[in-house]
Structure 1
């Protein structure tokens, strides 16, 4: 649609209000990191090692990746609204199972089930692309993710505080209550945005090769995946670094885990204001440079033996800033490669990003020991940041070769 659609809040006969899209994306982010300060306490409760309990991070991300592969074509076929409502309902159910899990195995399984909330992240973006053209979609995604940036900033702090006051189970009660409120808001406000494809579900899945053959799709997807990889590896390793290496309490671990979100909020605000004027490719390039630069400086500080909690967590704000510039613009780019496959593209792009994040989170968690310090995590982050730069440079070179730049 070229013109701005009429939107009425809590009226499902119109497209969703931006506040609903912010909430949907925000709850997806909330589920990812609010429980992280409680990992040591949960390991103690279930009498398992920290390494076993840390598996809840990569396994959650892995299931989220699988869901995103499936959810795109399903939502292109059946619509954004019903798929979102089912995803939120399952999130509430599995949050309650986490509370009453009798052992670590059931808890880990239920934590994987919580990944159903990934539908909120994927389909809030797809809904924006249903409504707006590419550069305007980048601005809208930027504003949505700027609003939701407060969630990963506050969520670990809130999770750490809940843990210290009421125990780790209170975090999962909070998940269930927030999920229920989100379901009610979505039910009342989210009007359908997808145009019926008229194709069977099998035909929808058969359109994946159309995306996989598109170089621009891969360029935007990999630039987002590698940039986000620095953040996901942080999720996998930072709780150990904060609690075991630096001896921080759950509350202060939560405070420090919110550091990337400060930069993320700023980056998304810049995207919302400048994407239409500057163009998505230049925004992605700037974000990739900032991401790589901040991580490289942080690594050098540790190699010189001067690393501290302030330097380790403080420089993560550059990762957040870089992601705030890269993610909404790269997302708008990959959604615009084949606009009629916006849901499929959002799901596939998200799956590649989250799947890579799951692998990196698992790798970071497995390599960190008291003897190694934080260096394995930092080397992983620098390597992924370099991959993001290479990906967006390839997009620039291809467009210059085709005379599009």
Structure 2
């Protein structure tokens, strides 16, 4: 990759590309009731467009992942952002829920062409310090879901739900403009252009050293989506907090995630991704176990928050280092590896809702148990490596 572009410029650009989908998801959440009324449908139908978006995004990752290893990355970003802009403009003219849903599906599918290249670009830029670059990008990107609902609500006060998608279009046009000017093309792609589409997936799944990190990435995603799915019920219904207090608690969680990424970015160069993943896992095991105790004893909300914040921070630390370790195994299949990570992450994350619904008992205990069990699976997957590293250290 060309090194003429400063990391201080390139990393915010990559973060802004990655923020497209979180903004597309979170900006319109406050407008769902208005969309339902305007399109003469019910709330469940509009809520389903969120699931449809996630499905479209996962399918897009499967399709564009191998292409990101074959064609120039900047070209894919331009295609993805341009298609997203067209789909978003078309949403302004949707007059029924079927059209709206179809456009959301396409919007998500084409946007993945832009985002799937970002981890590979970071890997190429940071080499063995990939986790540091991923932490920086994640830290910047997390501002999007933190402020998006508030921005969406403010736009609704001024205008309509269509205005939300106008603002989203303007944002993506700006990102596309900077991408075309600043994002360099990859210089590492030619070596594997002869490999078939499915051959690239075979290469990723055949890599034994990446399997346990894929399990870690997948299972912490289940824990993360368990939190996202359950926390409105836990805070608003079980503990009866106001919407304002809920927004503060949610913002505190995002701040904990950003803090964890900041800590990781400062330490990972010295400690390495394996050790940082281990540190995050230790904190996750302790705090998830405490969360089970707290919910079982039905202790006050303060205790829930004090365990949730470090738990969510540790989950993000595990995820970013697991992803970095996976990508380090694939110098020429980073797009495909990113697709595999994304599909497994969204696929397992989609199970959180049905699992929590099945074990629903009106308390916070099912969500705490699901998070705890997810972390235990990560521990079991990482334990052989941790024991092997200890044995190697003892021998040396």
Q: What's the TM-score, normalizing by structure 1?
A: 0.83
Bigger mean CA deviation after superposition, 164-173 or 339-348 = 164-173
- CA separation in 2, counterparts of 1:294 and 1:192? 42
Determine the C-alpha separation between the residues in 2 that align with 1:39 and 1:294: 35
Contact 1:260 1:319 in 2 (8 A): no
Residue 154 in 1 paired to residue 147 in 2? yes
Q: Which runs of 5+ in 2 are unaligned?
A: none
- The CA distance in 2 between the partners of 1:112 and 1:175, in whole Å, is 16
Equivalent-residue separation in structure 2 for 1:40 and 1:294 (angstroms): 37
Q: Among residues 32, 54, 58, which one is paired with 2:47 in the alignment?
A: 54
Q: Does 187-196 or 36-45 show the bigger shift?
A: 36-45
Q: Does residue 277 in structure 1 map to residue 270 in structure 2?
A: yes
In the other structure, the counterpart of 1:384 is 374
Q: State the alpha-carbon separation in 2 of the partners of residues 156 and 315 from structure 1.
A: 25
2:96 maps to 1:103 = yes
2:82 is matched with which residue?
Answer: 89
**1:47–1:296 distance in 2 versus 1, CA, 3 Å:** farther
Contact kept? 1:22, 1:145, Cα under 8 Å: yes
Query: Which of 218, 233, 237 in structure 2 is aligned with 1:225?
Result: 218
CA distance in 2, matches of 1:390, 1:398: 13
For structure 1, the residue ranges without an aligned partner over 5 or more in a row are: none
**TM-score of the two chains, using structure 2 as the length reference:** 0.85
In structure 2, distance between residues paired with 1:79 and 1:151: 27
Q: 1:328 aligns with which of 309, 320, 324?
A: 320
- TM superposition shift of 1:47: 5.8
**Larger Rg, first or second structure (1 or 2):** 2
Question: Separation in 2 of the partners of 1:256 and 1:170?
Answer: 28
Q: Is 2:13 the partner of 1:7?
A: no
Counterpart-to-counterpart distance in 2, 1:243 and 1:51: 20
Q: Give distance in 2, aligned partners of 1:202 and 1:223.
A: 28
Using the TM superposition, give the Cα deviation of residue 66 of structure 1 relative to its aligned residue in structure 2, in angstroms. 2.0
Quote the Cα distance in structure 2 between the aligned partners of 1:163 and 1:248: 24
**Aligned partners of 1:20, 1:41: CA distance in 2, in Å?**
33
Within 2, Cα distance between the matches of 1:39 and 1:379? 31
What is the CA–CA distance in structure 2 between the aligned matches of 1:241 and 1:90, rounded to whole Å? 38
* 337, 340, 347: which one aligns with 1:348: 340
* Shift, 1:361, TM fit: 4.3
Q: Does 1:128 align with 2:118?
A: no
Alpha-carbon distance in 2 for matches of 1:239, 1:307: 16
8 Å CA contact 1:61, 1:355 repeated in 2: no
Change (3 A) 1:70 1:275: same
User: 1:278 Cα deviation (Å)?
Assistant: 0.9
